[in-house]
Amino acid sequence: MTNTFKQRIIDALKEQRRNFGGSNAQYAVSLDINPAQLSRMLKGEIEGVISPQKLEHVAQVLGVTDSKWKAARTQVLAYIHAQLEACQQNGLCAILVDRAGIGKTFAAQLYKRTHQNVIYIDCSQAKTKRRLMKAIARQLGIDTAKTYDKLYEAVTYALSTAFDHPIVILDEMGDLKREAILEVKALWNATQYRCAWYAIGADGLQNRIDSSIKNNVVGFVELFSRFGATYNHVAPQDDASAFDYLSRDCMAIIRLNAPEMVSSAAGIIKKVEASPRGVYNHLRVA
């Protein structure tokens, strides 16, 4: 790990500390380090403060990589950030359902890194009720070595009272087990209008909700109602219009990250079927 990369970790640590509404002790918990280590790192110290493995973990949590990739202000990113800001400011909820590979996750993760009091959960890594609660608690700086009931109380208190206008982003929400989805409904009830919730998924999430409502699965009608009873989409629904729309995003990404390839951009975009993720993968190996 180069000194330049280590300095980027320190810079991100300081920047994201300003976006964390809790105490230094809570911020340390969210990074899985102790407060003394955090204090030294906030002063610019890094050598010998934590192990190389732990430093890699902190870099991952902070979203620091060795990539020189720049975030283009795509239509998808602008739409998602506008929705997230509106939800967070007003304590509202929404569901975004759209095709895969358009940059939904990237936009959500960037929002977390650049805004205050944002909890981002990759639900594919927290499918059960307990894992979901622990993931939320960790990002709030809450010690997860508690009974489930105590953890639930601590999380709902933090989201309702301790943090100013928090928002919980549930990416890949369709991966949650049924018990975890019902717990999201309970969390919404406990934090109503004091915490915003934003669900993200592809077609599978919409199909699961619709199917569950059709089959009278307990809790899904209420959950859908709490999340606005509508599915938001970024890209047009028909393939031809979506290709044109996403092609503009792909071009913006290429112009910013590989301007020398603009002349061949049309071919690249056609090859990856106007997928921003496809453009990212193509440029990484180009």
pLDDT in tens, 64-113: 988 888 999 999 999 999 999 999 999 999 999 999 999 999 999 999 99
Task: Give the model's pLDDT for residue 24.
Answer: 94
Task: Give the model's pLDDT for residue 23.
Answer: 93
The amino acid at residue 30 is: S
Task: Give the model's pLDDT for residue 65.
Answer: 87
Q: Kindly tell me the sign of the dihedral angle through the C-alpha atoms of 48, 49, 53, 57.
A: negative
According to DSSP, the residues that pair with 93 across neighbouring strands are 197
Task: Give the model's pLDDT for residue 197.
Answer: 97
Choose among 237, 238, 262, 236: nearest CA to 250: 262
Residue 66 CB burial class (10 angstroms; 0-12, 13-18, ≥19): exposed
The string of pLDDT tens digits covering residues 15-44 is 999 999 889 999 999 999 999 999 999 999
CATH architecture group of domain 75-226? 3-Layer(aba) Sandwich (3.40)
According to DSSP, the residues that pair with 121 across neighbouring strands are 170
CB 160 within 8 A of CB 152: no
Alpha helices in the chain, H assignment, sequence order = 3-18, 24-31, 35-42, 52-62, 75-90, 104-114, 129-140, 148-157, 178-190, 203-214, 220-226, 239-257, 265-271, 276-285
CB 136 within 8 A of CB 125: no
Domain boundaries, the chain: 3-62, 75-226, 239-285
Task: Read off the pTM.
Answer: 0.93
- 3-state helix/strand/coil string of 202-245: CHHHHHHHHHHHHCCCCCHHHHHHHCCCCCECCCCCCHHHHHHH
Residues in the chain where the model's pLDDT stays below 50: none
